[in-house]
Amino acid sequence: MAMTMTRHTPAIIAFATAVLVSTAALAHAFLDHALPAVGATVAQAPTEVTIWFTQALEPAFAGCAVTNAAGQRVDTGQVTVDPQNPQELHVPLTALPPGEYKVSWHVVSVDTHRTTGDFNFTVQ
């Protein structure tokens, strides 16, 4: 009986660890959806990029840069987490001419985990 326990314990620990890790991964703040949508081509220049995350954000540690094809910043630098919805990030933009833009975000979720990502959209 003791032998069986010893043989099985590592497997049980491994299983428990896997469950914990997957739960922690789910708790990270990842991009859920955005406006303009990820990869979208839009006919009208947006006045802001809005990103919805899978978890609430720490407002003090949320940042986002929007750059044009030349790598120049086109956001106003006034990134805010929505006071009504802590999963929603607002990134106001300057007037965008037609072109391709890159949105690079970095956030810290309320569980203190840092995540980053980027996506593009195009203004026709």
- Residues in contact with Cu ion by CB under 5 A are 27-28, 111, 113
Dihedral of alpha carbons 54, 62, 91, 115, sign: negative
Report yes or no: 123 and 96 within 8 Å, Cβ to Cβ: yes
For 1-124, list the strands marked E by DSSP: 31-35, 41-42, 48-53, 63-67, 80-81, 88-92, 99-108, 114-123
Choose between 103 and 108: whose C-beta lies nearer to Cu ion.
108
Closest CB to Cu ion: residue number? 113
CB of 109 to Cu ion, least distance (A): 5
Between 115 and 120, whose beta carbon lies closer to Cu ion? Answer: 115
User: Residue 6 CB, nearest distance to Cu ion (Å)?
Assistant: 33
Q: Using the minimum distance from each CB to Cu ion, give the nearer residue, 12 or 18.
A: 18
